[in-house]
Amino acid sequence: MKKLLLIAGGSTLVYFVLAMLMAVLPGLTLSRTPPGPNVKPLAAVEAEGREVYVANGCSYCHTQQVRPLAEDAAFGRPSTAGDFVYQTPELLGSERTGPDLTNVAKRRGSAIWQYIHLYNPRAVVPESIMPSFAWMFRVVDKAPAGVTAVPLPKGFAPASGVVIPSHEAEVLVTYLMSLKQAPLPGGKTAAQPAAASPQPEHAAQAPAAAGHAPAGGADIAHGKQLVDDNCAACHQADGSGLAGTFPPLKGNAVVNAADATEHMHVVLFGLEGKAIDGVKYESPMPAWGDQFSDKDIADIIDYERSSWGNHGKPVTAADVAAVRAKGAGK
């Protein structure tokens, strides 16, 4: 009996103490983390959308944690402890089969895009392997008043009728569109405490500094990288857009205009409700100014102005800085 007590009881006691030290005590302490600046609880409808996210296991392929590493800079500033206060269950995730969604409302800032993408990801991202969530939508003859039909491109739309989102899809998209990092006081880039960073030089860098070429002169390769990662979701990698839904950049009058001020203004501050080359678009163009440096935006614009047959005059980081300084109102 003594032997049994020693082996079973002794080892269980040791294990109990370790479980307290490694799980329960850290859990207790960290559960009391104060919210970070500007971190707010979710609205009821966003919380409902979060439940749809959980029920369908979105977090098996999408993380919601930005690490203080250069490779994560594309997803936002490094996550801080205060970011997670209202996030129970935690959805940090363990795999990135798809991209991180911490900041997806900024990176894919169009609910219309989200609906199309949810209905069939390949309608907007041809190489995507994300499942289609068409079962969260209904096909009806005519969209009821107050409901906007999802503007699906040809080949993805049903043969007849229009596609409208179910309640599930609506709350899910509302949740996704709420996923943006709270701005930290003192700038967009949250450098973690030096002690908390394995690579302080990375943590201190601006988010978009990954893979940056030496300063000065247009870096078309870098511009392409940023466009493919951020702009192509709507405007497509070949600049052709999605007819009637997202405007093409190829042959676009603003992109080819000699004066690039408007081009820079749209990228920096976004655009909504204005006809582009005679077509009115439902989806707003999100503002990218707070996600990218002047140099990044110059690279993006120069890539757009020199690709797909476009012949716009290139701009410099200084030009972008000048437009930025004038502010959204011009």
Partner 1 sequence: MPHSASRGDASAETDNSSLVELFAGYTISATFWLVFATFVAIVLAYKFGAPDFGGGAWLTFGRLRPIHTNATFYGWASIALVGLAYYVAARSCRTQLYSIRLGWIGLWLFNIAAALGTIALDLGYNSGDLEYREWPWPVRLVFVAALVVTAVNLLATVARRSTDDIYLSNWYTMGGVLWTIIIATVGVLPWYQYGLGQVAVSGYYMHNAVGMWFTPLALGIFYYALPKLLSRPIYSYALGILAFWTNLVFYPIIGSHHFLFSPLPWWLQTIAIVFSVAMLVPVLGGSANFLLTMRGRFGEMMHSYPLAFIFIGVVGYLVGSTQGTVEAFRSLQEVWHLTSFTVGHSHLTMYGFVTFAIWGGIYALLPAATEKHAGRLGMALHFWLAVVGSFIYVIAMSIGGTIQGLDWVQGKPFIQSVIDIGPFYVWRGVGGILMFLSHIVFAWNVWRMTVGPSATPVAVTSPATMEAA
Residues 241-270 that bind partner 1 (CB under 8 A): none
74 binds partner 1 (CB under 8 A): yes
Closer residue to partner 1, CB minimum distance, 229 or 272: 229
Closer residue to partner 1, CB minimum distance, 205 or 261: 205
CB of residue 307 vs partner 1: minimum separation in angstroms?
15
228 binds partner 1 (CB under 8 A): yes
Supply 203's token pair. 């943590």
248 cis-preceded (ω within 30 degrees of 0): no
Tell me the C-alpha distance between 51 and 174, whole Å.
Answer: 12
Q: Name which of 68, 55, 129, 67 is nearest 100 in CA terms.
A: 67
Q: Which of 89, 273, 309, 329 binds partner 1 (CB under 8 A)?
A: 89
Neighbours of 205 (CB within 10 A): 17
Give backbone dihedrals phi and psi of 173, rounded to 5 degrees, phi first. Answer: -65, -35
Tell me the C-alpha distance between 108 and 180, whole Å.
Answer: 10
Tell me the C-alpha distance between 30 and 179, whole Å.
Answer: 22
CB of residue 134 vs partner 1: minimum separation in angstroms?
6
24 binds partner 1 (CB under 8 A): yes
293 binds partner 1 (CB under 8 A): no
CB of residue 8 vs partner 1: minimum separation in angstroms?
5
Closer residue to partner 1, CB minimum distance, 211 or 314: 211
CB of residue 191 vs partner 1: minimum separation in angstroms?
13
115 binds partner 1 (CB under 8 A): no
CB of residue 90 vs partner 1: minimum separation in angstroms?
5
> Is residue 223 a contact partner of residue 302, using CB atoms and an 8 Å limit?
yes
88 binds partner 1 (CB under 8 A): yes
CB of residue 22 vs partner 1: minimum separation in angstroms?
5
Closer residue to partner 1, CB minimum distance, 74 or 173: 74
Q: Which residues contact 243 (CB under 8 A, 6 or more apart)?
A: 153
Does the CA dihedral 167-76-189-69 come out positive or negative? positive
The interface region with partner 1, picked from 40-48, 64-72, 256-264, 315-323 by CB under 8 A, is 64-72
Supply 53's token pair. 């996210």
Tell me the C-alpha distance between 107 and 109, whole Å.
Answer: 6
Q: Which of 40, 43, 135, 253 binds partner 1 (CB under 8 A)?
A: 135
Burial of 85 (0-12, 13-18, 19+ CB in 10 A): middle
Q: Name which of 283, 279, 255 is nearest 270 in CA terms.
A: 283
37 binds partner 1 (CB under 8 A): no
Q: Which of 122, 180, 188, 324 binds partner 1 (CB under 8 A)?
A: 122
Q: Which of 40, 71, 148, 213 binds partner 1 (CB under 8 A)?
A: 71
Q: Name which of 50, 37, 24, 46 is nearest 80 in CA terms.
A: 37
Q: Which of 113, 115, 133, 308 binds partner 1 (CB under 8 A)?
A: 133
Q: Which parts of 197-216 interact with partner 1 (CB under 8 A)?
A: 198, 210-211
Closer residue to partner 1, CB minimum distance, 143 or 232: 232
CB of residue 39 vs partner 1: minimum separation in angstroms?
10
Count of residues touching partner 1 (by CB under 8 A): 82
CB of residue 98 vs partner 1: minimum separation in angstroms?
7
Tell me the C-alpha distance between 329 and 269, whole Å.
Answer: 9
- Distance from chain centroid for Cα 323: 24
DSSP state of 24: I
Q: Which parts of 43-62 interact with partner 1 (CB under 8 A)?
A: 54-61
